[in-house]
Amino acid sequence: MPELPEVETVMRGIQPALEGRKLINVEQRCAKLRWPIPYNLVIRLKGLRVTGIARRAKYIIWYFDNEIAMILHLGMSGRISITPRRPKVLEKHDHLIFTIEDGTVIRFNDARRFGMVDLVPSNQIFKHKLLKSLGPEPLGNDFSSIGLGIMLAGKQQPIKNALLDQSVVAGLGNIYVCESLYRANISPRRLAMNVKGQRLAELFVNIKDVLNEAIIAGGSTLRDHAQTNGDLGYFQHNFMVYGREGKACKKDGCDGEIKRIIQAGRSTFYCAKCQR
């Protein structure tokens, strides 16, 4: 599933194409993704002008000039592509097609249909059931080492699981939690309440560094992710630990081996020798 860097990359790709532009046509080619698409989506959006594009956690928010907002989630396999004109032949899984006033076409393609779209009054956007309980944005001003420590205090669960809790930090996913813990030399098994002091400070810095580096690299393409121009992300070539089970630890002076365990139903990759 796309994580924060992949969603941020897509959001930044559609911003310049959409902001300030009018939707002259909206096409809906299926009734349901993960949940039913709002039945009146086409009627409500056609002719509106996009006033802003933003991201919250793993959701992309489109704001319109009539005080409506659209929440879009890419799901497992969702992709957004931008082309200067409508293709002669649409792809099988192009479920939503938006045409803007200069002829540019934005297509939402989702082969597995685990994505979602919903409409909500823009002044109620952060009260939506999917957004109202989210924690701070890890790249935002509300995210701090002190705040993270407060959220982790008393949590008797592994730090890996705690960081995947979207009410603790919004947008973090399996890949970037593994990478951040590795860089901070913190075992994914360590109880969250025991991550404090220098360990907490190192974790805070490395979460931000890993995410920023991944965004610059266009995200990670393991299967489906692509940027809006069709280019793949390439941060997967910079993985230090994720997906490297059985390979040597890359840290200088460490002769450990990357191991894989299952935590909360997900694969965790780490070096048992240097992560404590």
Instruction: Read off the pLDDT of each residue in 29-57 and give the average, rounded to a whole number.
Output: 97
Q: Is the dihedral of CA 177, 178, 182, 183 positive or negative?
A: negative
| Domain assignments of the chain as residue spans, ordered by start | 4-127, 145-271
Instruction: Say what percent of the chain tops pLDDT 90.
Output: 89
Query: Mean pLDDT across the chain, nearest whole number?
Result: 95
The CATH number of 4-127, from 3.20.190.10, 2.60.40.10, 3.40.50.970, 3.90.1300.10, is: 3.20.190.10
Give the active site residue among 2, 5, 136, 188. Answer: 2
Q: Report which DSSP code applies to 139.
A: T
Does the structure show a pLDDT above 90 at 229?
A: no
- Distance from C-alpha of 141 to C-alpha of 144, rounded to nearest angstrom: 7
Query: If you write DSSP's letter for every residue of 174-220 in order, what string do you get?
Result: HHHHHHHHHHTT--TTSBGGG--HHHHHHHHHHHHHHHHHHHHTT--
Q: How many CA atoms lie within 13 A of 109 on its CB side?
A: 18
Does the structure show a pLDDT above 80 at 232?
A: no
Instruction: Read off the pLDDT of each residue in 154-172 and give the average, rounded to a whole number.
Output: 97
The pLDDT-based confidence of 222 (bands split at 50, 70, 90) is confident
CATH no., domain 145-271: 1.10.8.50
Give the active site residue among 6, 8, 55, 58. Answer: 58
Does the structure show a pLDDT above 90 at 191?
A: yes
Q: Write down the pTM of the prediction.
A: 0.94
pLDDT tens profile 124-154: 999 999 999 999 999 999 999 999 999 999 9
Decide if 16 is catalytic. Answer: no
Decide if 266 is catalytic. Answer: yes
Which helix or strand (DSSP H or E) is residue 55 part of? strand 50-56
Does the structure show a pLDDT above 80 at 29?
A: yes
Decide if 58 is catalytic. Answer: yes
Give the active site residue among 46, 259, 266, 273. Answer: 266
- Distance from C-alpha of 146 to C-alpha of 128, rounded to nearest angstrom: 27
Instruction: Read off the pLDDT of each residue in 3-14 and give the average, rounded to a whole number.
Output: 94
Decide if 196 is catalytic. Answer: no
Give the active site residue among 3, 6, 179, 202. Answer: 3
174 CA to centre of own chain: 11
| Whole-angstrom Cα Rg for the chain | 20
The answer for residues whose C-beta is within 8 angstroms of residue 140's C-beta and 6 or more apart is none
